[in-house]
Structure 1
Amino acid sequence: MQIALHAFDRRQVAWIAFFVAVLSAWAALFLMQPNLDLPQGWQAVGLDYLASLCRPAAETSLSGLIAMWSLMSLAMMAPTIAPALKTYLDLTHTQGASMSGFAALLSGYLLVWIGFSIPAALLQAALDTQGWLDPFGRSSEVYLTATLLALAGAYQFSKLKEACLNQCHSPLMFFMGKWQDGLSGAFRMGLHLGAVCLGCCWALMLLAFVAGTMNLAFMGLAMVLMTFEKLPQLGRYLTAPVGFALLGAAILTLTTELIKHL
């Protein structure tokens, strides 16, 4: 009884730490909002650095852009792995899973998304250099906007997206087929889960350049959508409608622009 209670307490601690990290990332993103007036003296705790990350890319270092995208990835993508983390914790009664393995699994997953933050930051810097982004990291070019919408919409119907989602829909089957023992094994499984998640969601993440890279409403909506899309009961009914909606938005964007020039 004491052993079971101890394991339950450790699971609680793991979840508390997980949600504290996610909520901290969202709090940081909120404090980075360009129109937020921070009280005097808050610079002493580093909030001025957070605010500096949402300046236009031309005014921000590459490391600052990577830090911004990493925070976005933690806030938006960490919740989407919750079903897989729950499945892993349900296996802690076996000798293969452990609380330290939980941390290793999550670390491997997030490392993939931190890796994604590097090319995303480079892309933002390149687009800003071309003058294709406004100060809020939002596309100011109609054809760029339409291309991003069409790319994300078309990718919803791709075989790669389908294959990645199939793995996300059944975490238990993933662990049964890909199980590796120990901390290093948990870390490698996290990397695999991260790669699968990246295969599902990279095109949707790039829509940040349509809505604005510091648009909290977009981040929240995208997080909910990507989380639901990984749930087998809901995800199978979301992928195609989202794809059609994005393709329709791309067509509408181009049509509106053409009408303006008639």
Structure 2
Amino acid sequence: MTVFAHKPDERRAYNRGVLIVILALALACWSFFVWQPAAPGMAMMGATMGLSAVPFLIIWTVMMVAMMFPTAAPMFLTFQTIQARRSGGSATASVTVFIAGYLILWALTGILAYLSAQAADWAAARFAVTANAAARFGGLLLIFAGLYQLTPLKRLCLSKCRNPVSFIMTSWRPGLFGAFVMGGFHGFYCFGCCWFLFLILFPLGMMNVAAMAAITILIFIEKTVSWRRWAAYLSAVALLAYGGAVILVPALLPTFAAAPPIAMMNSMPGMPKP
């Protein structure tokens, strides 16, 4: 194992292997959404898509792997390289635990997402929210997401995500438990960067592959390219403009449905009439 650390070619080959596994997992999760048939009237099923907690959390976690693993790959590989040099070995266990900590943090955010979705569904039913009003609320979320792109908190969290070496060296903890904690911390900073971008998937459609792909590309650009600051500004302008347009014309939202949820439920056979 010690010899491994002194053979750059073997180390690079191992890094390629780790990268292939990460991207293969992400690709498998993307295929789930690409080949998943859209359920008729899904927009009418509410923010939870008509799912109970466990199926919702499973779909949320699969979505996180699909969208976040490609954008977090530079951090995973950097951690593997540094850990291998420190330990003189392949660091397979450490990088696996690091990724597990990262994924578990994102899976836990699914609980918040589900509770928020349930609250939105309850409010929509309790106050008989119309499709126009629901779409306009989605437009407000898009506007808030655009404003968040310009906040100091966004910049702080993003600085931790786009400098893997700096993050690892300043957050270093020894051992497998330390790797797990570091992975969780990295997931926390990623959440700080992206939580509003995932929140807008509710009005855009949780199973909207085009929206998921656009957000994934934006996150990747923010973390990697040299003009990432311009990407934040341009994405903010785009979100503000789109949100304003949706408020003016609710039908511009992909999840817009002409009939309000309550009216649709009352029109279904076997449903009691008020």
TM-score normalised to structure 1 length: 0.80
SS in 2 for 1:34: coil
Mark the CA change 1:139 to 1:194 in structure 2 (over 3 Å): closer, same or farther.
Answer: farther
Greater mean alpha carbon deviation, residues 159-168 or residues 4-13 = 4-13
What is the CA-CA distance between 1:165 and the residue it aligns to?
0.9
SS in 2 for 1:180: coil
Instruction: State whether structure 2 residue 120 is matched by structure 1 residue 116.
Output: no
SS in 2 for 1:75: helix
Q: Which amino acid aligns with 1:67?
A: I
C-alpha distance in structure 2 between counterparts of 1:124 and 1:108, whole Å: 25
Q: Which amino acid aligns with 2:85?
A: H
C-alpha distance in structure 2 between counterparts of 1:30 and 1:253, whole Å: 26
Report the equivalent of 1:222.
215
Match of 2:238 among 242, 245, 248: 245
Structure 1 unaligned spans of 5+? 37-51, 133-137, 258-262
Mark the CA change 1:120 to 1:159 in structure 2 (over 3 Å): closer, same or farther.
Answer: same
Greater mean alpha carbon deviation, residues 11-20 or residues 77-86 = 11-20
Match of 1:34 among 29, 33, 38: 38
State the 4+ residue runs in structure 1 displaced beyond 6 angstroms. Answer: none
What is the CA-CA distance between 1:169 and the residue it aligns to?
1.9
Q: Give runs of aligned pairs for residues 30-179 of structure 1, distance below 5 A.
A: 30-34=34-38, 57=48, 59-91=50-82, 92-95=84-87, 98-131=91-124, 141-179=134-172
What is the CA-CA distance between 1:215 and the residue it aligns to?
0.5
Q: Contact (CA 8 Å) 1:201, 1:226: kept in 2 or not? A: yes
Instruction: State whether structure 2 residue 15 is matched by structure 1 residue 11.
Output: yes
Structure 2 unaligned spans of 5+? 126-130, 251-274
Q: Contact (CA 8 Å) 2:135, 2:246: kept in 1 or not? A: yes
C-alpha distance in structure 1 between counterparts of 2:196 and 2:166, whole Å: 26
Q: Which amino acid aligns with 2:181?
A: R
Per-residue CA distance 1:154-208 (angstroms, 9 max, x = gap): 1111111010111112111111211111111111111110000000000001111
Report the equivalent of 2:25.
21
State the superposition RMSD in angstroms.
Answer: 2.8
Report the equivalent of 1:202.
195
Mark the CA change 1:200 to 1:187 in structure 2 (over 3 Å): closer, same or farther.
Answer: same
What is the CA-CA distance between 1:231 and the residue it aligns to?
1.5
TM-score normalised to structure 2 length: 0.77
Q: Which amino acid aligns with 2:158?
A: L
What is the CA-CA distance between 1:250 and the residue it aligns to?
2.0
SS in 1 for 2:230: coil
C-alpha distance in structure 2 between counterparts of 1:215 and 1:246, whole Å: 17
Aligned residues: 236
What is the CA-CA distance between 1:232 and the residue it aligns to?
5.1
C-alpha distance in structure 2 between counterparts of 1:21 and 1:250, whole Å: 33
Q: Contact (CA 8 Å) 1:22, 1:75: kept in 2 or not? A: yes
C-alpha distance in structure 2 between counterparts of 1:72 and 1:139, whole Å: 28
Which structure has more relative contact order (CA 8 Å, sep 6+)? It is 2
Q: Which amino acid aligns with 2:87?
A: Q
SS in 1 for 2:221: helix
Identity %: 29
C-alpha distance in structure 1 between counterparts of 2:124 and 2:53, whole Å: 17
SS in 2 for 1:149: helix
Q: Which amino acid aligns with 1:172?
A: V
SS in 2 for 1:94: helix
